Amino acid sequence: AVELVPARSTYADKQLTRLQETPEAIPDGQTPHTVTLVAHAELVDAARPGDRLEITGIYRGEPVRVNPRQRTVQALYRTFIDIVHVRRLGRGRTPVVQGLDVSAAVEDAQRSNDADEDADAEFSEHEETEFKRWARDARLLDTLARSVAPGIHGMDDVKRGLLLQLFGGVRKQFDRAGAPRSRGDINVLLVGDPGVSKSQLLSAVHSLAPRGVYTSGKGSSAVGLTAYVTRDPDTRQMVLESGALVLSDDGICCIDEFDKMSDSTRSVLHEAMEQQTISIAKAGIITSLNARCSILAAANPVDSKWNARLSIVDNINLPPTLVSRFDLVFIVLDAVDEAADRKLARHIVSLNPVFLTPQHQNAHQRNDPCTPDD
């Protein structure tokens, strides 16, 4: 018989996490697949929810008992990946690399690899020269703003606001006792007529942001935005599953069709937009999760089209307590103007060079918003 002596045993941390496919890697019409990861020792808490990871490990299978008190096992085995190496991608240029402490030879090899990666991650002299040249350019803000969603015509003020949201602000923590903490993230609300590229702007910002979640207001619930309690199928314990706001921590959460949200769903945004935390008290789990994210929301007016005879408050038709938490509110209108419509049509046609003459192609290249010397 085997007897366990707790006083003479060596204990190590163990963590079960789930890895899901990235949205751009999912084939059309399919749901994302998930795989269970098992981390030990120093690999525990090597990543947080919402990170993009490269995992190196051993694909294992273990039998599943029909009853914990019996030796009978099922025909299907439970599969998981035993993590050996974690590489975190996304926000920074330098990846976070951690490995198992196996031997001195492995440590030396890993140290040399880390040194090579750090050397590759540093900026070259040519890049530093370009950065300094850009910093001296007085038109830097306009040039970068035109580079945000260059396929969308006009809307320069909206693009400047989205650019400032992407860069973010500085979180301020005052030294005085009892002083409040000032958030540095910017919340932006786009309200306007249908067909003015609000959803396209949200998609462009989501593709530029290194971390964030894109969701729709009609298909979102309160627990889907914050967190929900579920029972783990392996341990049979109650665990917390992170929602969209928690997964967007240190990123941007894009919410389309904001006006289609129910009142109960919008009410959970008050705490997340101001205190940047989410308080949970469900099924015996009482905690506070970080939601330090910027919110970019797009909504339609109350009658689906802007009514000039109504005031701005009546057209938006959102609770004042929620609108006050948006730092920038842009009203995008589809005005009837023949000259503006002609420019818009010319811009749409210019997106496909096949329909342009050589003279128009040269003019379009000179007006390229991504050209720094424009």
Higher per-residue confidence, 48 vs 144: 144
pLDDT, position 82: 92
Q: Are strands 252-256 and 294-299 parallel, antiparallel or unpaired?
A: parallel
How far apart are the C-alpha atoms of 156 and 159, rounded to whole Å? 5
What does pLDDT average to over the chain?
78
Q: Residue 112 — pLDDT band, cuts 50, 70, 90? A: very low
Q: Residue 363 — pLDDT band, cuts 50, 70, 90? A: low
Is it the case that residue 367 has pLDDT exceeding 70?
Answer: no
- Give me the mean pLDDT over the 221-230 stretch: 80
pTM (two decimals):
0.70
Return the SS3 of 366. Answer: helix
3-state secondary structure 171-237: CEECCCCCCCEECCCCCEEEEECCCCCHHHHHHHHHHHCCCEEEEECCCCCHHHHCEEEEECCCCCC
Residue 17 neighbours by CB under 8 Å, 6+ apart: 36, 37, 39, 47
Amino acid at 315: N
pLDDT, position 287: 80
How far apart are the C-alpha atoms of 107 and 128, rounded to whole Å? 32
pLDDT, position 59: 92
Q: Residue 58 — pLDDT band, cuts 50, 70, 90? A: very high
3-state secondary structure 30-92: CCCCEEEEEEEHHHCCCCCCCCEEEEEEEEEEECCECCCCCCCECCCCEEEEEEEEEEEECCC
Is it the case that residue 337 has pLDDT exceeding 90?
Answer: no
